[in-house]
Amino acid sequence: MLDVHNLSAAYGQSEVLHNVDFSVAPGEIVAVVGRNGMGKSTLMKSLIGIIPPRSGEVKVDGTDVSTLASHARVARGLAYVPQGRQIFGTMTVRENIETGLVVTGKTLIPHEIFVLFPILKEFEKRRGGNLSGGQQQQLAIARALASDPKILLLDEPTEGIQPSIIKDIARVLRQIRDMTNMCIVVCEQVLSFVLDVADRILVMENGRIVHSAMREGVDEAAIARFLAV
């Protein structure tokens, strides 16, 4: 479903992402873990097209999208939940979700979104900026889901969120996968969350994927060592 070949990306002259290779199958949840500054966000941004790749390919269903603008990638089935959520603060909850709907040409928000996030239905007329952190995270995920994606990218969805809500987010991600057979790529530093959601774990260090393991029978201590500061 998602095939990344030899992907490199740079800020100006300094290359931050070096020849990254991985694939994700439909219905699979892959977690990319690594400490701060290892290149996780850069990977996500180059997948969605915020940073143009220096070289390499990003294939969705076999077609390369790496030269397309972000919105065109969204039209091909990618969706992005950024680090820090970046919801549109002055717009209502409903309007935030509708921005994701634009690319589909539909006018009605799919019922399933409110089933996954009932709180958003309750607060649909509030301004996004006035929600709590956890609610904003749900809103950012809902906005991404509204574009009816095949591939969902999430960048540190647990950042700054209380533990009880982190559990909810893990549950919702698995629920989405079970409902739609979507493939999900999530960047994380919180090991418990990763072990909770992922089918496969990739470790990123200094812009390279240095380790890969299936969730089943993973050596937790080894992954924890990669995350230790």
Partner 1 sequence: MFMGYSLGEIGSIFAMQAFAGLILFSVFVLMALGLAIIFGQMGVINMAHGEFMILGAYMTFLTSHLFQTYAPQAFAGYFFVAMLVAFVASGAIGLAVEWLLIKRLYKRPLDTLLATWGLSLIMQQAFRSIFGAREVGVQLPDWMMGSLQVTDTIEVQINGLFVMTLTLMITAVVALLLFRSRWGLQVRAVVANRVMADAAGIDTRRIDRLTFGLGCGIAGIAGSAFTMIGSTSPTAGQAYIVDTFLVVVFGGAQSLLGTIASAFTISQSQSTLEFFLTGSMAKVTTLLIVIGLLMLRPQGLFVLKVRK
Ligand X SMILES: Nc1ncnc2c1ncn2[C@@H]1O[C@H](COP(=O)(O)OP(=O)(O)O)[C@@H](O)[C@H]1O
**Interface residue list for ligand X (CB under 6 A):** 11, 16, 34, 36-42
Q: Chain centroid to CA 98: how far? A: 19
Instruction: Check residue 83 for interaction with partner 1 (CB under 8 A).
Output: no
Of 5-13, 24-32, 82-90, 198-206, the window that binds partner 1 (rule: CB under 8 A) is 82-90
- Amino acid letter at 125? K
Residue pair 151/24 in contact (Cβ under 8 Å)? The answer is yes
Beta sheet of 151-155, edge-to-edge order = 78-81, 151-155, 183-188, 29-33, 200-205, 208-214
> With CB cut-offs between 5 and 8 Å by kind, which of Mg ion, partner 1, ligand X, none does residue 48 bind?
partner 1
134 binds, among ligand X, Mg ion, partner 1, none (CB under 5 to 8 A by kind): none
Instruction: Check residue 181 and report its DSSP letter.
Output: -
Q: Bridge partners of 200?
A: 30, 214
| Of 1, 4, 16, 49, the one binding partner 1 by CB under 8 A | 49
Burial class (CB in 10 A: 0-12, 13-18, 19+), 54: middle
Alpha-carbon distance 20 to 18, whole Å? 6
Q: Quick one: DSSP state of residue 102?
A: G
Which residue number, 41 or 66, has a Cβ lying nearer to ligand X?
41
Round to whole Å and give the CA distance between 206 and 98.
Answer: 37
70 sits near partner 1 (criterion: CB under 8 A): yes
- Closest to partner 1 by CB, 97 vs 198, is 97
Least distance in angstroms from the C-beta of 102 to partner 1: 6
Instruction: Choose the contact partner of 118 out of ligand X, Mg ion, partner 1, none; CB within 5 to 8 A by kind.
Output: none
41 near Mg ion, rule: CB under 5 A: yes
Here the tokens at position 221 are 């201590």
What are the backbone dihedrals phi and psi of residue 6, each rounded to the nearest 5 degrees, phi first? 55, 35
Torsion of the alpha carbons at 56, 60, 170 and 39, rounded to the nearest 10: 10
Contact flag: residue 158 with Mg ion (CB under 5 A)? no
| 39 touches, from partner 1, Mg ion, ligand X, none (C-beta below 5 to 8 Å by class) | ligand X
* Region 73-132 residues binding Mg ion, contact defined as CB under 5 A: 83
User: Which of 95, 112, 124, 159 lies at the binding interface for partner 1 (CB under 8 A)?
Assistant: 95
Task: Report the distance separating Cα 166 and Cα 162, nearest Å.
Answer: 6
Residues in contact with Mg ion by the rule CB under 5 A: 40-41, 83
The residues of the shown chain that bind partner 1, judged by CB under 8 A, are 48-50, 69-72, 74-75, 79-80, 82, 86, 88-91, 95, 98-100, 102-104, 107, 127-130, 143-144, 147
